[in-house]
Chain A
Amino acid sequence: MQLSQEEIVGYLRRVSAFKKLVDEQAEELAKISQVRQFARGDELFKQGDKNGGVYIVVSGKVIIERELDRNNSSVSLMVAKPVESLGEMSLFVDAPRSVTATALENTVTLWIDNDDFVSFISRYPDLLLELCKVLSQRLVEAYDKIAEVTLNRKPRELRKLYDKLDF
């Protein structure tokens, strides 16, 4: 799939972290964006990978999962849909990917290399602030997920019994 510069700018502007992009910034960002396509089942990146970059979903869906050591299981954390970004964590943390991202259907993304993106965004503090908001929101969602997982840890039958223990 080919995307014109204008189309790329259009997609970038709809990303919540980039709402405040002014025209020159949007064009600058479009220049460092590459179109990357994935077939259903392809991995965008794998937990443990070192390749740093941010993806923006243009079309399709991507599931983000944390893989667990035990018997090939994994916990699904979120599904990224069009104009949602993923992989921003790798921007500021020099660590391997903490999750695996897999295309759930044929998916088109924009990809921006970490170094290019950091040198771009560090010149625009209000964009950086906007990105911080998005990342903080992800953190809130992660806490919610932890609470949910912890609460449900004991099966319902057991929770009922534990509820009776209120001495």
Chain B
Amino acid sequence: MSKTIVLHSFRGGTGKTNTSANVGAILARRGLRVGVIDIDIQSPGIHTLFELTEKDVKTSLNGYLWGEIEIEEAAIDVTDRLGDEAKGKYYLIPSSIKASDIARILRDGYKVTLLDDGYKQLLGALELDVLIVDTHPGLNDEILLSMAVADTLVVLLRPDQQDYQGTSISMKLAQNLEVEDVVLLVNKNPPLFNPEMVKERVEDAYKSNVVAVLPHSDEMLSLSSAKLFVREFPDHPLTALFEKVADRCVV
């Protein structure tokens, strides 16, 4: 098995990054070889969940997109972040968090079409079972290219009118790009909303399956993207739901 899973949301802050990192962690713990790549080049962030700082990130996706390195040279082994019981491997391919690199990206751009070759190369070189792609919110070149090669596209949304409207654009896009497998993931469901009803409503609106309705969680919020939730709260109901998302991602 070798799959590319792309997480996307039309609007920002839906939980793409936290979901990517946690679902990847679950799969790696189960014994899979997992890579998670941050293609939010303008506003990278996933490294914080692995407790990495600027000086830990020596090579990055940026270098590959500038034609300076092979993409696998940017991979950081983060398997130790999963605890002792991890059976698989977990790699992070970060975007650079150096201000000068971000400035260079903004000024000079980069060869975005290297991205889909990069995914293939990563799957091969690191012998990955799963590559999870964490994206910038909204639509841009990277998202389009990534959607076009996704085996599974996970579209995240909150139960919110702005998210609902935006998501319909994303779903239409996925359809036009003939993405094989699209699932919806509702996050930050407030306690007042019945998750079953939310699921039904969303499925009805988009004629697609909702893989899970993740509740708003104060514990998640309090982690402030500084740690992996599934590691810190293994018995939390949200962890069980992340497991469910992980199951669906590898079918």
Contact = CB atoms under 8 A, between A and B. Distances in A.
Given A161-B177, A164-B176, A71 B141 contact: no
A143 to B, nearest CB: 24
A167 interface: yes
A82 to B, nearest CB: 38
Contacts of A165: 173, 176
Interface in A146-167: 154-155, 157-158, 161-162, 164-167
A162 B144 contact: yes
A70 interface: yes
Contacts of A166: 176
B108 A70 contact: yes
Nearest to B169: A167
B68 to A, nearest CB: 13
A155 B113 CA distance: 7
A158 B108 contact: no
Contacts of B113: 155, 157-158
Contacts, number: 27
B135 to A, nearest CB: 15
Nearest to A164: B176
Contact of A70 (B107, B111, B141, B177): B107
Interface in B83-131: 107-108, 111-113, 116
Interface in A34-92: 70-71
Contact of A167 (B112, B116, B144, B176): B176
A80 B172 CA distance: 50
Given A70-B107, A70-B108, A158 B141 contact: yes
Given A164-B177, A165-B173, A167-B176, A157 B108 contact: no
Nearest to B176: A164
B58 to A, nearest CB: 22
B241 interface: no
B148 A161 contact: yes
A161 B112 contact: no
Contacts of B145: 157-158, 161
Nearest to A157: B113
A158 B112 contact: yes
B107 A154 contact: no
A154 B141 contact: yes
B112 A155 contact: yes
A10 B214 CA distance: 84
A155 B144 CA distance: 13
A158 B176 contact: no
Contacts of B173: 165
A70 B173 CA distance: 34
Interface string B40-81: 000000000000000000000000000000000000000000
B170 to A, nearest CB: 12
A167 B168 CA distance: 12
B140 to A, nearest CB: 10
6 contacts: A157-B145, A158-B112, A158-B144, A161-B148, A165-B176, A167-B176
8 nearest CB pairs, A to B: A164-B176, A161-B144, A155-B113, A157-B113, A70-B108, A161-B148, A158-B141, A167-B172
Given A165-B173, A167-B172, 13 more contacts: A70-B107, A70-B108, A154-B141, A155-B111, A157-B113, A157-B116, A158-B112, A158-B113, A158-B141, A158-B144, A161-B177, A164-B177, A165-B176
